[in-house]
Chains A and B, each alone.
Chain A
Amino acid sequence: MLSVKKCFRLSVLAVSSFLLAFTAQAGDGPDGYPERPIEVVVQYGAGGGSDNFVRNLMMPAAEILGVNINVTNMTGGAGVKASKYVLAQPADGYTIYNFSPEQLINTVLGRENYSEEFAPLVQVQQDMSMFYVNPDNKNFQTAEELIAYAKANPGKVQFTGTTPTSPDEIIIMRFAKAAGIDVKYVPFDKAPKSHAAVLGGHLDVLHEEPGSVISLIEAKKLIPIIVFNDKRLDKFPEVPTSVELGIDITSGRWRGLAVKKGTPQPIVDYLADALKKAADSESYQKYQAAALLDQRPGWKGPEEFGKFWEEEYQANKEILTELGYVK
């Protein structure tokens, strides 16, 4: 029989070890970071390219960091809503943001101010832009035919992509300018609607990254006509590159993460390191290959990513001014 005293001691021991196990669950980062779940904010809807990217990266990242990671989708207002939410949280590394090209464009348009608000974490992917047409399109089936047709019929060819003043519109307008053609851009608020518009033959050319329409390409319901890259893709060797066609545009959507400015540097470095490991994990690599996201080197560390923001901001500013969105 245990004495009362012993019983008491044992239970104190049990309770304290229990408390130790569950509350003082300090991480192995700086100052015990992370000790509670981390939230990742995505400004796009669940199931889209960016959402898939974040969820697939955060699954291995949660294991590496040893805490839960919750992904929150906060759509609307070209990402401004999500940005404001992240900025309303403390700069402690427990809120991570899926920083996208929209934030730079929003800064150009005066809706946000990225350099004052966010600190770069890592860039993980460098995606590619491609144009697609419907196989039943009688006017053109290749990029050359498209350019020739557009020259003969100025303003008739209709392009589609997601939302106005988006990276999609910028690429389309840069392409039109480089090819010397005049086209129309009809944006949709959600990517699937733009796919359907081209599949249904209502619009002529779709801008999209290949990962989200790969099944439609394989089924020959969408014909890729150009890839904005310097070399052809192994998967689609018959599709010419922009460089081959004399159009010097190879930019594409990049995907990466940021935190609120003012987050302690040790935490930024620690997170960057953990995310690197997550990106190298088997499960993430598998997803990346399946979605054709491994075609170009996409990794950038915090410092490099920050420099890249600056360059991209300047480039977007010039393009948007040229296109007449900024006076």
Chain B
Amino acid sequence: MEIWFTAFHNVFSPMAMLFICGGVLMGVMLGAIPGLNSTMGTALLIPFTYAMDATTGLLLLAAVYCGGTFGGSISAILFNVPGSPEASVTGFDGYPMAKAGKAGKALGIAILCSCIGGLFSVGIMNLISPQLAKVALSFSEPEYFALAFAALTLIASLGGTKMTKAFLVGFVGLLIATIGIDPMSGVERLTFGWSGLIGGVNFIVALIGAFAIGEILMTAEKGSKIDGEEEVKVSTEFPSLVEMLKLKWNVLRSAVIGTLIGILPGVGATTASFVGYSEAVRWSKHPEKFGTGIADGIAAPETCNNAAAGGAMVPLLTLGIPGSATTAVIIGGFMVHGLQPGPMLFLNQPDLMYSIFLAMYVSNVFMLFAGVIVAKLFSNFRKIRYSILGPCIFVFATVGAFGISNSMSDVWIMFAFGLLGYVMKKYDYSVAPLIIALVLGGLAEESLRRGMRMEDYDLIAFLSRPISGTILAVALATFLYTLYSRMRHKPNLLAGEMKQPSL
């Protein structure tokens, strides 16, 4: 109890509150602007925290981290350009919803679910951090593979396009995911001698291209018609209690999935949001509606990614192992103060730990306000006519692609995916399976091959382990069920046309 008093004292001092609120606001802004993200923001802030005392500095970093994880969804919903990788999935349903004139509602769901997801994971972390760390360590390569595989099988259930087309696009995505240096042998694959491909295709570059550039080209082709459709006023509209109650199982499941994936070392909020979305599709009564702009499609990834942000702090604080890219940077924030995050710090300085927990609670609540403020700011851009806004998004997309690793070759890759996205939209191929395959393909391949090497190339080992076996069995069963029900009840889904707007 005494520890909590110290933590309260640390967090609710005027100075610390100023830093926490300012940090969340800054994080949301950084997240919302494509090309800037919370990883970069925390890295830039570390030299400044050197001048503060350790607690205040770390509270600031934690606040920026929480805010940044949410921020990206604002630009994903409003412009179909995710401001940060964590928000990639949010655009799948967020943008169609905004296009249908419900941008304010989409933002409201995103903000509220982010807050709930964040609070849930901090609560869990606060209560059972050391136990959670044990769960994280019990996951090995077969489990990672099972997770990625389960999410990949959901490509079949994604709505908005014919199943055969979704599969085709998914396989192309998996192939593109193999570009670059082989993770196990170090051999170059499919680079065609071009150094721009040696590091592989960054999925966020592909995503910005396929979604944002593809969309701009498509709109340009349609001509000025779009100007009439623009809604002028966007104000954040929080969902009502009834609406939230409809989402309750989805939100709860996503919060659990997000926290669990967050605590796994090296798999962060981005993967979590993809898995959360896939699971929402799997357990939904109307999986075919995902991708057309439904509340479930926003609630799942947004709850998940913020829950994962909290989860990623667990291995960092208990083991000194970062669960994500941003938490890796936050280690630097500890080190400039001569602190080494890990089991010893948890024992020696519990007040610092509890202050960080408390700051994350406060940050997630303050996010409700910061989210509304920044969303309002960004929605002003929607008042601009598309003939002007389109080129602006084009510039933002280019800067965003360049900013990921300061490399021009990423910009060319993005344009290539822009053309691909345009062609796909034109011929009614959904882009979402491509992105899902790109994100999870690398994880699936690596963990399969590493696991095979560890188990002496014995595939049975993947099925006989309890966790991976269960996940694989459920994935396979739902996959077969989807195939069966689609062919039986709606044979046209497999073969015929579907009259639904594509993603």
Residues of A at under 8 Å CB distance from B? Answer: 45-48, 51-52, 55, 59, 71-78, 80-81, 84-85, 88, 109, 111, 158, 163-165, 184, 186-190, 192-193, 195-197, 199-203, 213-216, 218-219, 221, 286-287, 290, 325
CB distance from A159 to the nearest CB of B (A): 11
B344 and A51 within 8 A (CB): no
How many residues belonging to B are interface residues under a CB distance threshold of 8 Å? 55
Known A-B contacts A84-B195, A163-B186, A202-B140; the reply to A215 vs B329 at CB < 8 A is no
Q: 3 tightest CB-CB pairs across the interface, nearest first?
A: A76-B199, A215-B342, A47-B328
CB distance from B80 to the nearest CB of A (A): 26
B327, B345, B405: most-surrounded residue (chain A CB, <10 A): B405
B450-483 vs A: 1/0 string, CB under 8 Å? 1001100000000000000000000000000000
Nearest A residue (CB) for B335:
A52
CB distance from B324 to the nearest CB of A (A): 10
A77 and B266 within 8 A (CB): no
A192 and B325 within 8 A (CB): no
The residues in B between 321 and 336 inclusive whose CB is less than 8 angstroms from any CB of A are 321-322, 325, 327-332, 335
B195 and A80 within 8 A (CB): yes
The verdict on B252 contacting chain A, using a C-beta distance below 8 Å, is no
Known A-B contacts A76-B198, A186-B450; the reply to A216 vs B137 at CB < 8 A is no
Residues of B at under 8 Å CB distance from A? Answer: 39, 43, 46-47, 50, 136-141, 180-186, 188, 195, 198-200, 202, 265-266, 315, 319-322, 325, 327-332, 335, 338, 340-345, 347, 405-408, 446, 450, 453-454
Residues in chain A near residue B266, CB distance under 8 A? 188-190, 192-193, 196
Residues in chain A near residue B335, CB distance under 8 A? 52, 287, 290
A51, A76, A81, A214: most-surrounded residue (chain B CB, <10 A): A81
Picked from A84, A88, A215, the residue with its CB within 8 Å of the CB of B344 is A215
B265 and A195 within 8 A (CB): yes
Nearest A residue (CB) for B315:
A196
A46 and B332 within 8 A (CB): yes
Picked from A163, A196, A325, the residue with its CB within 8 Å of the CB of B265 is A196
Picked from B183, B195, B315, the residue with its CB within 8 Å of the CB of A81 is B195
Residues in chain B near residue A78, CB distance under 8 A? 181, 186, 198
A158, A163, A200: most-surrounded residue (chain B CB, <10 A): A200
B322 and A111 within 8 A (CB): no
Picked from A52, A111, A219, A325, the residue with its CB within 8 Å of the CB of B198 is A111
Residues in chain B near residue A200, CB distance under 8 A? 136-140
Picked from B138, B139, B183, B315, the residue with its CB within 8 Å of the CB of A164 is B183
Known A-B contacts A51-B332, A78-B181, A195-B321; the reply to A203 vs B454 at CB < 8 A is yes
Alpha-carbon distance A74/B341, docked complex (angstroms):
25
A77 and B199 within 8 A (CB): yes
Nearest A residue (CB) for B333:
A47
Alpha-carbon distance A197/B315, docked complex (angstroms):
13
Residues in chain A near residue B39, CB distance under 8 A? 46
Residues in chain A near residue B332, CB distance under 8 A? 46-47, 51-52, 55
Residues in chain A near residue B454, CB distance under 8 A? 158, 184, 186, 202-203
Alpha-carbon distance A41/B347, docked complex (angstroms):
36
Given contacts A47-B331, A188-B266, could you give 20 more A-B pairs where the C-beta distance is less than 8 Å? A55-B332, A59-B47, A73-B43, A80-B198, A81-B198, A109-B186, A164-B184, A184-B453, A187-B450, A188-B450, A189-B446, A192-B315, A200-B137, A200-B139, A203-B454, A213-B320, A216-B319, A219-B342, A219-B343, A290-B338
Known A-B contacts A51-B332, A55-B46; the reply to A76 vs B405 at CB < 8 A is yes
Nearest A residue (CB) for B316:
A192
Alpha-carbon distance A75/B329, docked complex (angstroms):
14
CB distance from A247 to the nearest CB of B (A): 25
Alpha-carbon distance A80/B186, docked complex (angstroms):
12
CB distance from B452 to the nearest CB of A (A): 10
Alpha-carbon distance A120/B206, docked complex (angstroms):
36
Residues in chain A near residue B341, CB distance under 8 A? 215
Residues in chain A near residue B408, CB distance under 8 A? 88
Nearest B residue (CB) for A76:
B199
B265 and A216 within 8 A (CB): no
Picked from B138, B321, B328, B343, the residue with its CB within 8 Å of the CB of A46 is B328
Alpha-carbon distance A163/B182, docked complex (angstroms):
10
CB distance from A220 to the nearest CB of B (A): 9
A215 and B343 within 8 A (CB): yes
A74 and B321 within 8 A (CB): no
B184 and A187 within 8 A (CB): yes
Alpha-carbon distance A186/B406, docked complex (angstroms):
31
B137 and A85 within 8 A (CB): no
B407 and A81 within 8 A (CB): yes
A85 and B407 within 8 A (CB): yes
Residues in chain B near residue A187, CB distance under 8 A? 183-184, 450
Residues in chain B near residue A214, CB distance under 8 A? 340, 342
Residues in chain B near residue A190, CB distance under 8 A? 266
B315 and A77 within 8 A (CB): no
B186 and A164 within 8 A (CB): yes
A-B contact pairs, 22 of them (CB 8 A): A45-B328, A46-B328, A46-B332, A47-B327, A47-B331, A47-B332, A74-B405, A74-B406, A77-B195, A85-B407, A158-B454, A163-B183, A186-B453, A192-B321, A192-B322, A192-B328, A195-B321, A196-B266, A201-B137, A202-B140, A215-B343, A219-B347
